[in-house]
A and B are shown apart, each in its own frame.
Chain A
Amino acid sequence: MSAGFQAVQWNAAKIRYDAILLGLVALYIGGFIAVAAALSPPADVAGWIDLRLKAFGSCAFLMLSAVLAIGPLARLNPRFLPLLYNRRHLGVATFLVALAHAGFMVEWYILESDIANLAGELTSWADYLNFPAGFPFKTLGLIALLCMLVMAATSHDYWLAFLTPPLWKAIHMGIYLGYGAAALHIALGAMQSNRHPLIPILLFALFGAVTLLHILAARKAAAQDAGDAAQDGWLQVGAAGDIPDGRARIVAPAGGERIAVFRDGNIVAAVSNLCAHQNGPVGEGRVVDGCITCPWHGYEYRVEDGCAPPPFTEKLATYRLRLRDGWLEVQTTPLPPGTPASLMLP
């Protein structure tokens, strides 16, 4: 979190994350080119470009699959949360690798003195009926690249604040379309021209795994979203002592947004489960030094009033709590963000 905007808010965790990421990308691309060149040495410059195309293209699809797998993995198992922390750097790196793949394709056309035909190839409308082998698969790659460009170009926190989290999230869901386009780009391109069995096996396995993870995570969320019926606007949370110290119990009124009820020693407080940063699930975080800490990017809010500590200005909506016959209850109508509403337990 920051009171202003910098290019990148570096810290030790981000540097470590990026170093590992760059190392793995370099290892994959270098290894791919070295092994493929050893098995079948390229005969000319065009052959080398083709090799780079394959190395960067396959790397970009692997990375995109990883980017899309991290979200549902973290929802299914909190152990994957550290991968989510700096996911946008992985996303931007994926775009850059995909851009390099597209650049090598343009280089190949320039080498063959055929660059004018590249645009023509994409607009040969009759070929779009020629499924699968004659389909202009580069169009699908271009769609995927444009989706990744929009994500990468708006990945900075400034755009999150400018566009507001709901609109920003909606725009970033476009990456799902990009992933579908990228999978079909491979199926109608590399899988048609190259008969190596690993291509369909890896393509189906990666796309299938990512799809399955998203469906499983969505099913888990659906069960939580079913919610509980409130009585006279109050929803039962349970016994206050049952909430682990420094943690939250997440409840949801039927049809409403989730509420996170935290316990910090003998203080309980209810806040919106939506982080002001990216609508992350603050209720899955913990209380550190009196501040609720979002598990996604570490945004902090004071337990007593849902306000970020100065100089930061983020605020969460808070909710009234009451004890009734020993049971903790939360009012389902939110208070204005930043309203003090914590409750001292007897």
Chain B
Amino acid sequence: MTPSASIILWIVGLYAAAGSIVALGFAAIAAPRLIGPPGNEKPVHTPMTLGARLLLIPGAIIFWPLVLKRWLGEPL
């Protein structure tokens, strides 16, 4: 494997690893209270099924910096 391929794989791996940690916490704890029901602008606790939480994990891994930002109370 070329050195540049190793570097790229390491960066992607670290981003995905950090994303996985944030995504699991987000799906388990934060997701229901970060937004309201569709169309509602005010954050309120929204009922979410386990299936919906699981489906959010891939998106949360990809956009984990945005998720973390919202989780910490900042607007996107």
Contacts and interface: CB of A to CB of B under 8 A. Distances in A.
Complex A–B touching at CB under 8 A? yes
B5 A120 contact: yes
B35 A120 contact: no
A136 B37 CA distance: 45
A150 B54 contact: no
Contact of B36 (A120, A152, A154, A313): A313
Contacts of B49: 4-7
Interface in B1-45: 1-2, 4-6, 8-9, 31, 34-40
Interface residues of B, number: 32
Interface string B35-76: 111111000001111011011101101110010001000001
B39 A314 contact: yes
A312 interface: yes
A158 interface: yes
B5 A4 contact: no
Given A120-B2, A123-B5, A4 B35 contact: no
Interface of A: 1-8, 116-117, 119-120, 122-125, 149-150, 152-154, 156-164, 167, 276-277, 308, 312-315
Interface of B: 1-2, 4-6, 8-9, 31, 34-40, 46-49, 51-52, 54-56, 58-59, 61-63, 66, 70, 76
24 contacts: A4-B47, A5-B46, A6-B48, A7-B51, A7-B52, A116-B1, A117-B1, A119-B2, A120-B2, A149-B62, A150-B62, A152-B58, A154-B63, A156-B55, A157-B38, A161-B36, A161-B40, A162-B35, A162-B70, A167-B76, A312-B39, A313-B39, A314-B38, A315-B39
